[in-house]
Each structure stands twice: as C-alpha cells, then as structure tokens.
Amino acid sequence: MIKTSLLEKQKFYNKNKKILSEVLQQKIDKAFDIDYTYNSTTIEGNTLTLIETKTVLEDRIAIGGKKLREIYEVINHSKAFSYIKECIEKKEELDENKIKDIHQILTENIIQGGIYRNTDVIITGASHTPPTPNEMYNQLRFFYEDLKEKTEKMDAIELAVWTHAEFVKIHPFLDGNGRASRLIMNYQLMNNDFLPISINEKDRLKYYNTLDEYATKGDILPFKKLVEDLEEKRLDEINKIIEQQMNAK
C-alpha cells in the first residue's frame, strides 16, 4: 500500500500541473532528462560528468578523450526515455515488444539490441547469479505473464519496483540490463500518473543492496521504500514550483 502522504502529493501534482507554462515544463523535463541520463549511465561505469552529459545532449558536441561507446550510451539513453514518453502519451501498456525496443534504442551503435542472451552471465559483486539461458527463457515467460496480472493487483509503486527488480534478476540481455530496468520502472511509474525518478549514482551501493535483497530473499520492501522516498522527494520539488506559480498569480 502506498503511504497517504505520497498519494496526497501525487494528487496535488496531477490536479495542478497545468499551471506550469509550456516553457517551464520543458525546462523541468530537460533538467531531469540530463540528470537521469547521467546517473543511470554513470551507475553502469560511464565516465562522462554531468556537465559533459549536458554538453552531449544539448549541444550535440562529442567530448574529447572519451570512448565513443560512452557518448552513444548517453545519447541512446535520452532517446530511449523519449520513446517511453511517446508510448505513454499514446496510453500504451508495457509489454515484451516495448522492452525489446527500449533495449535496441539503448544499445544502438554499440551492440545488436533487443535480442536475449544465449550464454551465462555473472553480475559482479552480486550474491545472485542470473539463470542459465534455458531457465532464463522460462523465467521471462512467467515475467511477461505476471506483468499483465500484477498490473491489476499491485499498487503503482510496487508494480514499478517489481518490474525493475524481477527483470534485472533475470538479466536477459548481455548488456544494458540495468539501464533498461530503470527505464521500464519509470515507464510503470509514469503510466500510473507518478513522476519518473532518478537513482543518484552516489546511492548505487544502497540501490544494489536493495536489489540483492529481492534477488536472494524475495524481499521487495527495501527497494520499494527507496523508490517511494525518491518519488516523494521529486513530487516535493515539482509541487514547490507549482505553489510558487500559484502564489505569483
């Protein structure tokens, strides 16, 4: 169950968000896009700084001394997030084809995306070992079946965190599972009228630990709390701007 304070803040945001001008909304969205792309790629080892990420996305300028792969990771992540927003605008539910599309966009010019792995993988530093390819396909089948059922049974936050935690536990792609999982989590949040969140790279250890709790013990609550706290913080930030706009009128 989602805590009452969070639901109240969500209700206030959705009721009053239209007070934000188009220009201001675009500014908020652009700032989040850069921050989200920076954090999500940095968590996976990308070395571009926040300023360099901003330069690549806004000015379309390559950064000297950086690997071409890192440049593409940043550009592709922003494109994948834009794709998600387009899907949600059309009121389309998350499904297997969309997840494959997201991964394909994420890995464009890096590897062939949207294709499930046929080899074993190991997650460095994790207690959990992803399933072998044969077992992976079984788990994916159950994942997509559960995705439909849990959409009707879980609250919006729990659905989002389960989608992320279960998908990254299966680890169906050779690369890009973390970025894809964070994107599909935000897909679920946004599709249920919540704001997308960004997990700060400084919190990666806490983030990884909560995912490990789910992968090894099936305990989703630590990860859910982390996401709820981030969602509430994000709503507080945007609602404060909305209130300022209200008071200025």
Residue whose pair of structure tokens reads 């700060």 in the numeric block: 200
Residue whose pair of structure tokens reads 């300023």 in the numeric block: 51
What is residue 91's predicted lDDT score, i.e. its pLDDT? 92
Q: Which domains does the chain have, with CATH numbers?
A: 14-241 (1.10.3290.10)
Is residue 112 helix, strand or coil? Answer: coil
What is residue 214's predicted lDDT score, i.e. its pLDDT? 97
What is the C-alpha separation between 78 and 38, in angstroms, rounded?
10
What is residue 213's predicted lDDT score, i.e. its pLDDT? 96
Is residue 171 helix, strand or coil? Answer: coil
Encoded amino acid at 240, one letter: K
What is residue 9's predicted lDDT score, i.e. its pLDDT? 98
Residue whose pair of structure tokens reads 């550009």 in the numeric block: 75
What is the C-alpha separation between 34 and 25, in angstroms, rounded?
14
Within the chain, residue ranges assigned H as helices are: 4-16, 22-43, 50-54, 68-89, 96-106, 133-153, 156-170, 177-191, 204-217, 221-247
Q: Is 128 a catalytic residue?
A: no
pLDDT along the chain (249 residues), means of 10: 94 97 96 98 97 95 93 98 97 96 98 96 82 96 94 93 98 97 98 97 95 96 98 98 90
Task: Please indicate, yes or no, whether the overall pTM of this predicted structure exceeds 0.85.
Answer: yes
What is the C-alpha separation between 238 and 249, in angstroms, rounded?
17
Catalytic member of 77, 103, 164, 171: 171
Q: Which two tokens stand for residue 125?
A: 């530093």
Query: Exposed (0-12), middle (13-18) or buried (19+): which is 100, by Cβ within 10 Å?
Result: middle
What is residue 88's predicted lDDT score, i.e. its pLDDT? 97
What is residue 119's predicted lDDT score, i.e. its pLDDT? 95
